[in-house]
Structure formats: structure tokens, C-alpha cells
Amino acid sequence: MLKGRTAVITGASRGIGRAIALKMAQNGANVAIIYVGNENAASEVCKQAESFGVKADYYQCDVASFSESQSICKKIVADFKTVDILVNNAGITRDNLMLMMSETDFDAVIGVNLKGAFNFTRHLSRYIMKSAAGRIINISSISGMMGNPGQANYSAAKAGLIGLTKTVAKEFAVKNVTCNVVAPGFIETDMTVALPQAVKEYAGTAIPLKRMGTADEVANAVVFLASDLSSYITGEVIRVDGGLCMNTH
């Protein structure tokens, strides 16, 4: 489905990003794995991706840094010669109630979750525009669509990603590049393992499908948007949330 194409996935050493990288590789895409801290995890994802017979490599990068992102993007292009698909997945949380949230925590989350997507899109866009099937997929969250107490920074960043996506979709359409959002709901990852039990119980009752989703289910939506099957879809938000916020939008 993606044979011969090159995909760059940020935040790909674990969780949803890892599942996306492996699903891309399984479908024939070469993958550039971006990570920030855990080199061993990134190396392991790289090895698993290569087992599908594709080219894979991993790169350490603080996606919030414009200059560092630029340097890494240049290295990726030098190594892979082309970039067809960009998945902006890197994300962090620094949860707190608005009245107690520090400026540092607000800036950090905006920097990684929103500015990081701007940085990689900005630095790779000229190469993606040269592709016959350029695709940009931004990983937002239902928190960016409906808000969430204690997540003013995270919700703002994820809502900002949706606005960024729609603008990029309009600007890049002339080059036949599509740009879409995947908005996960409650997904079983390292991040949700730490959720309070009360939140998990709420998820079990509030989600129409009565369960949390898996990283693979999010990755399936991303691969669809990266493939030729989605060639006439752009500027769209696809929720992977078990129906949780169908009544809010």
C-alpha cells in the first residue's frame, strides 16, 4: 500500500507513534523514527521496522526547537533522498488546573505538541510537495475538540493542530498534498496507564463502544490517510474515540 514511500514519524519510540511507524513499515514504507529521550526504544522500533524489509533509521530531536528540527530534517533527506509522508505525533502532557499551571508547563506542551508540528511541516514541506502522493497527518486528540479539565495547555495545543492542519490543507492542495488530523480518544498507552482509576471507569461507561482503543487502531487510520485510498480527503478530522464525542461535534 505504501511501498517505496518514505515516512517521517515524530515521537515514534513508544505508544501511538511506535504503532504508526511499525504499521507504515508493514505496509511497505521506509521510516524515519524521531525520538527525544529513549534511544534503546527507538533502536528497537527501527529493528522491528527493518524486519518488514524496508529502510529504517532513528534520529534524536527536540521537535520544539526550530533549528534542531531543521538540522534533523536535512539529515533525513540526505539519508532517504525523499520524504512522502509526515506524521506529527510527538506529544507531552504537563497537566494541572488553570489556576495552578506554570508558564513553563504551558510553554513546554505548546512547544512540543503544536510548534513541533509546525517545525517539521515547515522543514519538510518542500520535499513532500515534490512527491506524487504527499501526505501530512497530525495527531491531535479529542481533548482539542471538547476540552478537558486540567489540560488547558494540552487542549489548546491539540486544538491548534486542527487549525494548523486546515490551513496547510488549503495551502498545499495546489501541489496535491493532503493534510489531515487523527484525533484519538482514550487509547491504551503508557500515558493512559497512569490515569486515575476514576477516569478509567468513566471511560468504560462514557464510550459507546465500552472500551479503550488500541494504538494499532489509531495507526490503521493514519495508514489509511497516508495511502492512495484517501486521495480526495484533506483538511479533515478523523476521530478514533469509540464514539466518545460524537454528540459534541
Residues marked as catalytic = 154
Which residues fall within 8 angstroms of residue 105, CB to CB, at 6 or more apart? 94, 96, 153
Three cell numbers written together for 23: 504499521
SS3 state at 71: helix
Could you give the residue ranges of the DSSP H alpha helices within the chain? 15-26, 39-50, 66-80, 103-110, 116-128, 143-146, 152-172, 190-193, 197-206, 215-226
- CB of 55 within 8 A of CB of 70? no
Q: Find how far residue 210's CA is from the centre of its chain.
A: 24
d(CA 115, CA 200): 30
Nearest to 155 by CA among 244, 91, 243: 91
- Grid look-up 461507561 returns 205
Q: Is the Cα dihedral 39, 1, 127, 215 positive or negative?
A: negative
Q: Give the Cα separation of 115 and 220 in Å (integer).
A: 25
